């Protein structure tokens, strides 16, 4: 079952043939998330068309509504960059989940929804009476997803966790940086973002299984688990050899030259993977020492890594990044400039892929945001709507539910159960 009222979705997605419908616009997601990991997961689902109803506490709303809301450089219409980005394409309904009347309203909303997504601490949904077992009693098809720091099983479920905590515990920080700099966190919050991505994947997997069984289930995602998963082949290397890897900066533990090199005006990445690329690079670079036949062997190159990096760096310092990028591309050698945000977000390829989109706010102002990276050939492209004001859709969403006439809504507002 899905929510019958589709007024907001219909305004976002005018009538199309089925082939041109957005991939998830037949689904309704109830979004109980806050801060970053959970809202990013539901943002991905909303970008793909899911009707996403953000349930917020009356009065304060979700925490990121207040974050940087008055920052003179980053806020627009009283919304900071967190809220602007993570809550586009969503509706806002204010329900007090701590009150019996509010919980009853929430359960009525769940009856016709597909997914309930949260990133509360472990145990909070059960204490509120909105855990999967409770929700499945009113809707056996409901899929619930909880993204937590350490997951819902194991000895550390009650530990609080934020992005950098799981980055550190997940091992990735230990190989970022060098022995001289020490551990270094990722510049983007991959601990939070990884949890949201895997949460969205888990929801999609549960929806696919529901097609076969007709039943929903619970998705348990740990941010720490996500970090361990992303160690990938490097974890396997340790598990096979017992050798603990160290930080190697921007270099590679197999390939040479594979590093970040300074140029006359910035930095450039060169990634020579395998003997064939090295031979092509040696020809391109025209550095006599790199023509040594012995360097055609990877073990010899790796043993000479420091010297090769020194020679390549000295060469690249003589000209600007654009000069080297053009020549490297002509030689078909994998390379790329180290872009700052201005360069990355104005890159022609990024713009061609619609990875920067303009969103019109309720005030009529336009703000640019990162786009949706998932491109589906058989579905309509993403449409982006303004993040909602607090409780903007409470009346429209609830009045469409059976039994919610004006008198009942007024009574619920007077009791503080909704706003």
Give the residue numbers annotated as catalytic, written as ranges.
252
Nearest to 280 by CA among 259, 268, 261, 295: 295
**Residue 19 structure tokens:** 């082939």
| Chain centroid offset of residue 29 CA | 17
Collapse the DSSP code of 53 into the 3-class scheme (helix H, G, I; strand E, B; otherwise coil) and give the result. strand
**Residue 339 structure tokens:** 């872009």
Collapse the DSSP code of 160 into the 3-class scheme (helix H, G, I; strand E, B; otherwise coil) and give the result. coil
- Tracing tokens 């990735």 back to the chain, one arrives at 172
Taking residue 103's Cβ as centre, other Cβ atoms within 10 Å add up to 18
Per DSSP, 65 falls in state: G
Element (H, E) at 4: none
Per DSSP, 111 falls in state: T
Q: In this structure, are residues 242 and 298 in contact, taking their beta carbons and an 8 Å threshold?
A: no
What distance separates the 2 farthest-apart alpha carbons in the chain? Answer: 87
According to DSSP, the β-strands at 218-222 and 258-262 are: unpaired
């Amino acid at each position: 079952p899905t929510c019958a009222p589709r007024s907001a979705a219909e305004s976002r997605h005018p009538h199309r043939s089925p082939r041109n419908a957005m991939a998830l616009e037949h689904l309704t997601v109830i979004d109980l998330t806050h801060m970053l990991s959970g809202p990013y997961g539901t943002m991905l689902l909303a970008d793909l068309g899911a009707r996403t109803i953000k349930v917020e506490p009356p009065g304060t709303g979700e925490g990121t509504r207040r974050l940087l809301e008055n920052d003179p450089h980053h806020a627009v219409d009283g919304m900071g960059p967190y809220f602007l980005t993570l809550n586009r394409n969503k509706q806002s309904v204010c329900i007090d989940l701590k009150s019996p009347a509010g919980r009853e309203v929430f359960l009525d909303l769940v009856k016709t929804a597909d997914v309930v997504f949260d990133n509360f601490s472990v145990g909070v949904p059960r204490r509120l009476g909105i855990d999967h077992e409770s929700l499945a009693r009113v809707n056996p098809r409901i899929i619930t997803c909880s993204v937590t720091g350490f997951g819902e099983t194991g000895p550390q479920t009650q530990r609080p966790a934020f992005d950098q905590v799981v980055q550190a515990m997940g091992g990735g920080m230990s190989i970022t940086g060098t022995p001289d700099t020490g551990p270094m966190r990722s510049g983007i919050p991959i601990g939070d973002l990884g949890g949201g991505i895997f949460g969205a994947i888990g929801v999609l997997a549960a929806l696919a299984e529901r097609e076969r069984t007709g039943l929903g289930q619970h998705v348990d995602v740990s941010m720490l688990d996500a970090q361990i998963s992303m160690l990938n082949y490097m974890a396997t290397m340790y598990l096979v050899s017992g050798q603990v890897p160290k930080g190697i900066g921007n270099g590679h533990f197999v390939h040479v030259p594979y590093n970040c090199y300074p140029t006359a005006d910035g930095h450039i990445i060169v990634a020579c993977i395998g003997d064939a690329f090295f031979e092509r690079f040696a020809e391109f670079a025209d550095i006599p020492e790199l023509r040594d036949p012995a360097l055609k062997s990877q073990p010899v190159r790796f043993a000479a890594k420091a010297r090769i990096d020194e020679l390549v760096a000295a060469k690249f310092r003589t000209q600007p990044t654009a000069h080297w990028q053009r020549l490297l591309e002509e030689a078909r050698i994998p390379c790329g400039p180290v872009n700052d945000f201005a360069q990355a977000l104005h890159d022609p390829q990024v713009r061609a892929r619609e990875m920067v989109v303009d969103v019109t706010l309720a005030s009529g102002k336009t703000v640019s945001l990162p786009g949706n990276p998932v491109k589906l050939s058989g579905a309509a492209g993403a449409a982006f709507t303004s993040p909602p004001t607090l409780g903007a859709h409470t009346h429209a969403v609830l009045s469409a539910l059976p039994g919610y006439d004006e008198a009942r809504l007024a009574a619920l507002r007077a009791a503080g159960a909704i706003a």
